[in-house]
């Protein structure tokens, strides 16, 4: 029952999306071309449903780790299940096999990502102007400047542009047109270490290995595990950290103790 409800919800989303596209087409005076209407409404609806589900599903399978699949066998398995025909696998075996395949493919993808990053950094460190710190952070000075450098506790104001080694942009204050401020000890290790090398007005390019970035977990579905990160950073300002003064407890003055006076009555 639960699976049926989820399927119906998914189908409703597909048709809402299709309706939105249809309305957009009407606004631009572009009408969809009807090539075939079947002899009855059920057949027409069924074919329309198949087209919508198929179009949506084709986008989803592109995200399968490795990016490969056999479309003909997907259709065969789908048709077999829909018709209730005899299948070549039990549903239990199919579920376990699919999960095992995805886990294995994801692991292979992660290992490939790690290897690509290590290969990139190994080649990059020999490039002209690239410096390497003991932690493995690589940096290049694009615009030099003299002056005070921030400490890890300071708040810095920066403009930055972040990409992966393949050039894909995952974050950029430059694109947003607005710099950002943050305490330097509350970001990834590569930033904390690297920005401390900068003076206000300078611009550096950082090449950050995964262990100084988002590590083995990645971040937000945008940065994959073991990703090497590349940042161009311009330091715009520094707000020096001020150690808060400890609160002084108020002085407690003991109350004066007065001796009781014994009153003697005269006889």
The strand pair at 180-183 and 203-208 is best described as unpaired
Catalytic residue, from 57, 78, 170, 241: name it.
170
Catalytic residue, from 139, 160, 206, 210: name it.
160
Catalytic residue, from 120, 171, 207, 238: name it.
171
Identify whether 231 is a catalytic site residue: yes
Identify whether 188 is a catalytic site residue: yes
Write the Ramachandran bin of 4: left for phi over 0, alpha for psi from -120 to 50, otherwise beta: alpha
The two structure tokens encoding residue 188: 């990834």
Catalytic residue, from 57, 78, 116, 188: name it.
188
Catalytic residue, from 139, 210, 214, 226: name it.
214
Burial 59-77 (b: 16+ CB within 10 A, else e): eeeeeeeeeeeeeeeeeee
Identify whether 214 is a catalytic site residue: yes
CA distance 110 to 119: 14
Instruction: Work out the angle at residue 141's Cα, subtended by the Cα atoms of residues 215 and 128, and round it to the nearest 5 degrees.
Output: 90
β-sheet bridge partners, residue 237: 157
Question: Any idea which residues carry the catalytic annotation?
Answer: 160, 170-171, 188, 214, 231
């Amino acid at each position: 029952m639960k699976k049926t409800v989820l399927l119906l919800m998914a189908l409703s989303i597909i048709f809402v999306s299709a309706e939105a596209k249809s309305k957009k087409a009407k606004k631009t005076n572009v009408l969809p071309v009807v090539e075939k209407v079947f002899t009855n409404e059920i057949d027409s609806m069924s074919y329309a449903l198949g087209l919508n589900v198929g179009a949506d599903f084709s986008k989803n399978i592109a995200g399968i780790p490795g990016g490969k699949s056999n479309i003909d066998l997907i259709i065969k398995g789908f048709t077999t299940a829909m018709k209730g025909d005899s299948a070549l696998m039990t549903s239990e075996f199919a579920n376990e096999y699919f999960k095992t395949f995805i886990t294995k493919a994801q692991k292979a993808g992660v290992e490939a990502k790690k290897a690509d990053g290590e290969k990139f950094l190994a080649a990059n460190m020999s490039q002209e102007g690239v410096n390497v710190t003991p932690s493995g952070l690589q940096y290049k000075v694009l615009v030099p400047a003299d002056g005070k450098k921030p400490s890890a506790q300071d708040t810095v104001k920066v403009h930055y542009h972040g990409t992966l080694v393949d050039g894909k942009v995952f974050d950029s204050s430059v694109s947003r047109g607005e710099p950002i401020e943050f305490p330097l000890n509350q970001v990834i290790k590569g930033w904390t270490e690297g920005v401390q090398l900068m003076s206000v007005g300078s611009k550096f390019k950082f090449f950050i290995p995964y262990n100084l970035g988002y590590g083995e977990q990645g971040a937000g579905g945008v940065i994959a595990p073991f990703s090497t990160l590349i940042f161009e950073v311009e330091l715009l300002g520094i707000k020096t950290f001020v150690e808060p003064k400890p609160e002084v407890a108020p002085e407690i003055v003991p109350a004066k103790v007065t001796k009781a006076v014994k009153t003697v009555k005269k006889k």
